[in-house]
Amino acid sequence: MAVQPSTPCMDLPQIDADLLRRWGQPPSGPSFDELSKESKVKAERMREIVDQFIAADKIVIVNPVWNLSFPSVLKAYIDAVTVTGKTIKRSDNGLRGLSGLTGTQQGKRVMHIQASGTVLSHGKFKDVEYSHSYVKAIMNLLGIDDVQAIFVEGISEQPDQAQSIKEQAIRQAILAAQEF
């Protein structure tokens, strides 16, 4: 299914007290009509984001690594799509991903492209590679087992090889796109 790219980051509401009050409310909780205009706008936008995620067959996540992690806007997006009752649900056997199924959910695939000045995917800093490992773990929790990665890394450590590193990543992306 073709889904439009997500809207700009500034349209991504942060999870705050307004949204938390709404989450997990029993049917007897405050109705949508009782929410403030601002809360309604946030709730609608969050619903759009998670519905877009659910509808997508292929998801591409691209991020830099800053201070050994991804930017906070990516965490806000992950929070927006990790919603009990929508993309995960509780069962007797613990949490289950989309529709409670195990294994790759409806053929969903994720391509994660990550850029970092230091080599984190292997070598001496592998133990502090938190970004891709987090993205992969969350996608697995959501029932998506097909999570591929392209690392564009080491440019700060080897500035004389920056162009070569970028070209290699582009070649990897072109090859991956043929099968993705």
Domain CATH for 100: 3.40.50.360
Residue with tokens 């877009």: 52
pLDDT digits (tens, 9 = 90+) for 140-174: 888 888 999 999 999 999 999 999 999 999 999 99
Task: For residue 40, tell me if it sits in a domain.
Answer: no
Cα–Cα dist 103/121, whole Å: 24
Task: For residue 35, tell me if it sits in a domain.
Answer: no
pLDDT digits (tens, 9 = 90+) for 67-105: 889 999 999 999 999 887 788 877 766 666 665 544 445
Domain count, the chain: 1
Task: For residue 23, tell me if it sits in a domain.
Answer: no
Task: For residue 16, tell me if it sits in a domain.
Answer: no
DSSP per residue, 51-83 = HHHHH-SEEEEEEE-BTTB--HHHHHHHHHH--
Task: For residue 49, tell me if it sits in a domain.
Answer: no
Are 147 and 140 in contact, with CB atoms under 8 Å apart?
Answer: yes
Query: Domain range spanning residue 170?
Result: 57-179
